Structure 1
Amino acid sequence: MYLPPSYDASPDRRYPVVYMQDGWNAFDDATSFSSEWGADETAQDLAERGLEVIVVAVTQDIVPSSFKRLSEYGPWTDFLGLASGQGGQYAAFLAQTLKPFVDSRFRTLRDAPHTAVIGSSMGGLISLYTAFEYPRTFGFVGALSPALWFADGQMFRHLATRASPNLRVYTDIGSSEHMGVIWDSARFVRDTAHLAQMLESRVAAVRWGVFHGADHSETQWRTRLPAVLEWFLSADAPRSETTGQAR
């Protein structure tokens, strides 16, 4: 967990909170299974500009590359049942167990507009799912390179029946992300564009973009995190924005 620099010296102040998936990768290369996002450094940089936030890195007692991670982050079954669809339980844990625990022990701003859920890949997928399942709890979602391929694109069918008029959504994709011939980079880009377009009329605001040459890695997501957190913490956020071919 990261606490902002003014936390101890400002006992009457409360802070917005970000819940980050794949918490091993949030703060430290030594604990990561690939590389770190530098969430603490990013939060510290934003704090120097007056934008302070509590960051909760949510980890799991699993092997990161295992089907158990796909099971916990996947709301539906996939891979012939090897991913067993426990994502609904995980989302409930975030909203109904972890957040109340954090709120009871730290000086948080508890309302949805000041509470974000952020992740990448499968972490982005479950963040998106969680935000729509618990709109009174989470008012912002950052879904970086979300695994929209999971369960044969079930997320699109799921969101087609849902709306969250107070939710702000950030999503993106790298132009070099792919899963071989099964899901090529062009399809990743098309799916992310389709997600953003279908959400335009269903949420308060959407910001999305394609990052030229970016692959599927923590190194890339680290470079995008500052803009995501800044938008979450900004009081003057635009309604919607398409960043297009960002570089």
Structure 2
Amino acid sequence: MKRIFTAVLCVVLTVLLFAACGKTDDKTPKFTAADKADRKEVTAAFKKTDSGDTLDVKLNREKSSDEKTALYTGNADPAKFDRVIVTADGTETIELTYNDYVRAWDISSGKPYPGTQVMEPQYDRVTFDYEDRKKDVLIWKPEDYDPSSADKYAVIYMTDGQNLFDRKATSTGSWGVAESIAEMTANGGQKCIIVGVENGATWRDEELTPDIGKVTEASFENGKGKYFSDFVMDTVMPYVNEHYNVYTDREHTHIAGSSSGGIESFYIAMEHPDRFASVGALSPAFLLYNDDTWVEYLNKKDFSKNAPLVYLYCGNSSADQLEQALCTGTKTMPNNLKACGYPDDKVVIKLYENGVHNEMYWRAVFPDYLKYAFPKASE
């Protein structure tokens, strides 16, 4: 008996020794930062926005199939953290989303994009009649899109389609939505296409301003957001449903946008709660109407059967007065929804104290919205 006990004890000690020396497999998910520069030191600072928990990790360089790109990796549990800042030789990125859909960021340009490979997204351009002019809609499909497959694709309808895909679209890049979706599906998430409606030039403000009451800014009077909403619902959506291999049910249909596009996306979802599973309103221009106007409008709606998930995000940087002003309206919207009986568990708000009003910050937070819009079945 003594010999058996001694043998068992030796086995236990051996296992513990190997574990202490890091010999066991570490099953914690891996974070990857890709960079075309040869860095001496790369670190990642992870945090959980709700709890404030943090973790600092020194990243190790790994071999890459692309000789021009270096990969720096380290372990962090996306169930415990949702944001990360990468520091490469003393230069920090902005806060980036970290979750089990998007666990890699290319930091080469100083304007991080999801993934480790530079993408040049290709999309279909479809032109429709719109009032007395033409309007383009850009439809992006994943590389593995198969129109004859039994597997269908979810759809995210988005405003400002001109800024969603091309990295040269603005001085801070594009939304990087193709990169985010590619990462999501590669990590077990929903297959998805993006339908981006262009809203550039002269008519953007009027197109993306719903008329729900008296506006707080005279220059936004006479908004034609209802016309735009009808265009999406009655023209664009039927076209997509007919010509692409997509789900047509509510569960797989979503809408998102930023700034004026954020308020219009929110409005469309509230007008059609039976058609959308979620709305992502990033830096939304809710301040165009005061809280009383919003409550009066929302009280006219019935959300007892269908209440889309409302994902709200805004920055609050003192360096950006516009974003700070929008943050005030974003913070009060959950209370407005609650006053109208909207389900608490259907409202998510994420704030970024250093966030400013541009595509780089919306790109950094878009994968966080995806996590809420497309939760994994086990969650």
Shorter-chain TM-score range: 0.7 to 0.9
CA distance in 2, matches of 1:97, 1:22: 17
Q: Structure 2: which 5+ residue stretches go unaligned?
A: 1-138
The equivalent position to 1:158 in structure 2, one of 291, 297, 308, is 297
The answer for the alignment partner of 1:50 in structure 2 is 188
The answer for the alignment partner of 1:23 in structure 2 is 161
The question of whether the paired residues in 2 share the 8 Å contact of 1:25 and 1:34 is answered with no
Matched, 1:202 2:378: no
Amino acid at match of 1:227: D
Matched, 1:6 2:144: yes
CA distance in 1, matches of 2:299, 2:330: 15
The answer for the alignment partner of 2:375 in structure 1 is 234
More off after superposition, 6-15 vs 95-104: 6-15
More off after superposition, 29-38 vs 106-115: 29-38
CA distance in 2, matches of 1:46, 1:21: 21
Which is bigger in relative contact order (C-alpha 8 A, separation at least 6)? Answer: 1
CA distance in 2, matches of 1:218, 1:115: 23
C-alpha displacement of 1:84: 2.3
CA distance in 2, matches of 1:84, 1:33: 30
Residue 173 of structure 1 aligns to a residue in which SS? strand
User: Higher helix share goes to which structure?
Assistant: 1
The answer for the alignment partner of 2:267 in structure 1 is 129
Residue 346 of structure 2 aligns to a residue in which SS? strand
CA distance in 1, matches of 2:244, 2:327: 39
The question of whether the paired residues in 2 share the 8 Å contact of 1:168 and 1:205 is answered with yes
Q: If you compute each CA radius of gyration, which structure gives the higher value, 1 or 2?
A: 2
The answer for the alignment partner of 2:285 in structure 1 is 147
The answer for the alignment partner of 2:205 in structure 1 is 70
CA distance in 2, matches of 1:11, 1:96: 26
The question of whether the paired residues in 2 share the 8 Å contact of 1:15 and 1:53 is answered with yes
Residue 151 of structure 2 aligns to a residue in which SS? coil
The answer for the alignment partner of 1:241 in structure 2 is none
Deviations 1:69-96 (A, max 9, x none): 1100001275536642100110111111
C-alpha displacement of 1:130: 0.1
C-alpha displacement of 1:167: 1.1
CA distance in 2, matches of 1:104, 1:112: 16
Matched, 1:119 2:260: no
Structure 1 pair 34–156 and aligned structure 2 pair: CA distance change class (3 A): farther
Amino acid at match of 1:202: Y
Amino acid at match of 2:153: Y
The answer for the alignment partner of 1:40 in structure 2 is 178
CA distance in 2, matches of 1:41, 1:184: 25
The question of whether the paired residues in 1 share the 8 Å contact of 2:159 and 2:261 is answered with yes
C-alpha displacement of 1:194: 1.8
TM-score computed with the length of structure 2 as normaliser: 0.56
Deviations 1:196-232 (A, max 9, x none): 2332441461111111211111111100001111221
CA distance in 1, matches of 2:361, 2:219: 31
The answer for the alignment partner of 1:84 in structure 2 is 222
Q: How large is the Cα RMSD of the aligned pairs?
A: 2.6
The question of whether the paired residues in 2 share the 8 Å contact of 1:4 and 1:47 is answered with no
Amino acid at match of 1:231: Y
| Matched residue count | 231
User: Higher strand share goes to which structure?
Assistant: 2
The question of whether the paired residues in 1 share the 8 Å contact of 2:320 and 2:356 is answered with no
Residue 141 of structure 1 aligns to a residue in which SS? strand
Deviations 1:1-27 (A, max 9, x none): 221343228611111100111011100
Structure 1 pair 82–149 and aligned structure 2 pair: CA distance change class (3 A): closer
CA distance in 1, matches of 2:261, 2:234: 18
The question of whether the paired residues in 1 share the 8 Å contact of 2:209 and 2:220 is answered with no
Q: Structure 1: which 5+ residue stretches go unaligned?
A: 239-247
More off after superposition, 162-171 vs 76-85: 76-85
